[in-house]
C-alpha cells in the first residue's frame, strides 16, 4: 500500500495589492506548499486543516484537489472563514505582509466538534508533517492534542516530521515558542531546522537545541549563506550537502517548504539522506527562480527519486 502523508497547518487567502490599489486573489501557507509539492512528486498526501463554509474556502479546496492534494481531512466549520493576508509592495519593491487570522477556522482543528475524528484519522497516516507555524495556531490545549496524536501515529509505526518555521508574530511571547519547539523537536522522528530560526529562537547556541537529538532522529539542518548548505545527520552519518548556485534568485517564498517536500519524497522512495538533500536543493532552486510559492508545472525539475 502507498505511504500516506498528512500535512497539518493553515492555508490563508492571499490578496496581493497592485499599484492601482486593486487586489489579486490567491492563497498561501507553508504546510500547504509542502503538501502541494509532495503531490506533484507523486506522494499520496492529504492536507489536514479546517476551513469555513464560504465560497473562498470552497475555491481553495477545489484548487488543492486540482493539484492532487487529498482534501478528505479538511474540516468545514459552519459560519467560520479562512485567515487572510494582504501583501503590499512599496515603490522599492519591498513586500510587507498584513494578517487577519486570529479567528481563522484552521485554529480550531484540535478543538470543538469533529476534533476527535480528525485525531483518530491522523493516527492512521505513515508520516505526519507539521511546522512551527502549525504549532502557533493551536494554543496550549491544541498543541497537547497534536502531541498526543503524534504519539498515536508513532505507536502504530508511523513517523512524525517537524519543520522549524519560526514566525515571532504567531506567538504571544518567545518563551512559549521556545518550549513548544523544544517539545516538538523532542517528539519528532525527522527535523528540518533552519539555523536562522534556531538562532532567533534560542540565541547563538541555537543549533545545540536540535543537535542534542542526533542519533535519536534524522536531522536536516539548513544553513544560511548563498548558496546555502544543509547538514544531514542520520544514524551515524553526518554529511554536508551544498546547494548549487541559482542563476537568478527571483523570490525565496516556499524555498524551505519545497525543500522539505522533495527531501521527504526522496526518503519515502528509499533514497539515502544525502541524495534526498540534493533533491531538496534541486526543487528549492527551481522554486526560488520563479515568482510566488508555486511554480508552473512545466518548471518542475526531474528529480532522481527512484
Stretch of 17-25, 110-118, 203-211, 242-250 contacting ligand ADP, by CB under 6 A: 242-250
Among 226, 235, 248, 297, which residue interacts with ligand ADP (rule: CB under 6 A)? 226
Nearer to ligand ADP, 6 or 246 (CB): 246
Q: Which of residues 88-107 bind ligand ADP (CB under 6 A)?
A: none
Instruction: Kindly state the cell numbers that stand for 142.
Output: 491544541
Instruction: Candidates 160, 281, 294, 303: give the one binding ligand ADP (CB under 6 A).
Output: 281
Cβ atoms of 303 and 275 within 8 Å: the answer is no
Residue 40 CA, chain-centre distance (Å), reads: 15
Binding of ligand ADP at residue 249 (CB under 6 A)? yes
Residues in 179-208 at the binding interface with ligand ADP, rule: CB under 6 A: 194
Helices (H), the chain: 30-40, 55-66, 115-122, 132-155, 174-187, 195-202, 206-211, 255-268, 273-287
* Rounded Cα gap, residues 282 and 145, in angstroms: 35
Angstrom distance (rounded) from CA 288 to CA 252: 5
Provide, rounded to whole angstroms, the least separation between the CB of residue 25 and ligand ADP: 23
Q: Which of 9, 206, 256, 273 binds ligand ADP (CB under 6 A)?
A: 256
227 belongs to the binding site for ligand ADP (CB under 6 A): yes
Pairing verdict, β 159-163 and 190-194? parallel
Q: Which stretch binds ligand ADP (CB under 6 A): 92-100, 130-138, 210-218, 224-232?
A: 224-232
Q: Confirm if 283 and 22 have CB atoms less than 8 A apart.
A: no
The CB-of-285 to ligand ADP minimum distance in angstroms stands at 5
Is 257 catalytic? The answer is yes
Main-chain dihedrals φ then ψ at residue 121, nearest 5 degrees: -65, -40
Number of H-type helices and E-type strands within the chain:
9, 13
Question: In Å, what is the CA distance from 91 to each residue of 18, 88, 289?
Answer: 11, 10, 22
Among 105, 130, 230, 294, binds ligand ADP (CB under 6 A): 230
Q: Which is nearer to ligand ADP, 11 or 74 (CB)?
A: 11
**Residue the block writes with cell 516530521:** 161
At its nearest, how many Å lie between ligand ADP and the CB of residue 243? 4
What residues are labeled active site? 257
| Residue numbers at the binding site for ligand ADP (CB under 6 A) | 194, 222, 226-228, 230, 243, 245-246, 249, 252, 255-256, 259, 280-281, 284-285, 288
Amino acid at each position: 500500500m502507498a505511504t500516506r502523508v498528512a500535512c497539518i497547518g493553515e492555508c490563508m487567502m492571499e490578496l496581493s495589492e497592485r499599484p492601482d490599489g486593486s487586489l489579486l486573489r490567491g492563497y498561501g501557507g507553508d504546510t500547504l506548499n509542502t503538501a502541494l509539492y509532495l503531490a506533484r512528486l507523486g506522494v499520496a498526501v492529504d492536507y489536514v486543516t479546517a476551513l469555513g463554509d464560504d465560497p473562498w474556502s470552497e475555491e481553495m479546496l477545489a484548487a488543492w484537489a486540482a493539484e492532487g492534494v487529498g482534501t478528505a481531512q479538511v474540516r468545514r466549520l459552519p459560519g467560520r472563514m479562512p485567515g487572510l493576508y494582504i501583501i503590499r509592495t512599496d515603490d522599492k519593491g519591498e513586500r510587507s505582509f498584513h494578517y487577519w487570522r486570529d479567528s481563522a477556522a484552521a485554529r480550531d482543528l484540535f478543538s470543538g466538534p469533529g476534533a476527535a475524528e480528525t485525531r483518530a484519522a491522523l493516527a492512521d497516516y505513515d508520516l505526519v508533517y507539521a511546522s512551527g507555524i502549525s504549532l502557533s495556531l493551536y494554543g496550549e490545549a491544541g498543541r497537547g492534542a497534536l502531541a498526543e496524536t503524534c504519539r498515536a501515529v508513532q505507536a502504530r509505526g508511523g513517523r512524525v516530521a517537524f519543520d522549524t518555521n519560526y514566525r515571532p508574530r504567531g506567538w504571544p511571547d518567545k518563551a512559549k515558542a521556545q518550549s513548544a519547539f523544544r517539545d516538538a523537536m523532542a517528539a519528532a522522528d525527522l527535523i528540518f531546522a533552519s539555523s536562522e530560526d534556531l538562532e532567533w529562537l534560542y540565541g547563538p547556541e541555537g543549533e545545540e537545541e536540535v543537535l542534542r537529538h542526533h542519533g535519536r532522529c534524522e536531522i536536516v539542518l539548513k544553513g544560511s549563506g548563498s548558496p546555502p548548505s544543509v547538514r544531514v545527520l542520520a544514524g551515524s552519518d553526518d554529511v554536508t550537502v551544498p546547494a548549487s548556485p541559482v542563476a537568478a534568485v527571483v523570490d525565496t517564498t516556499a524555498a524551505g517548504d519545497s525543500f522539505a517536500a522533495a527531501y521527504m519524497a526522496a526518503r519515502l522512495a528509499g533514497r539515502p539522506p544525502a541524495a534526498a538533500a540534493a533533491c531538496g536543493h534541486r526543487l528549492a532552486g527551481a522554486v526560488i527562480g520563479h515568482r510566488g510559492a508555486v511554480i508552473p508545472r512545466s518548471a518542475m525539475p526531474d528529480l532522481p527519486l527512484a
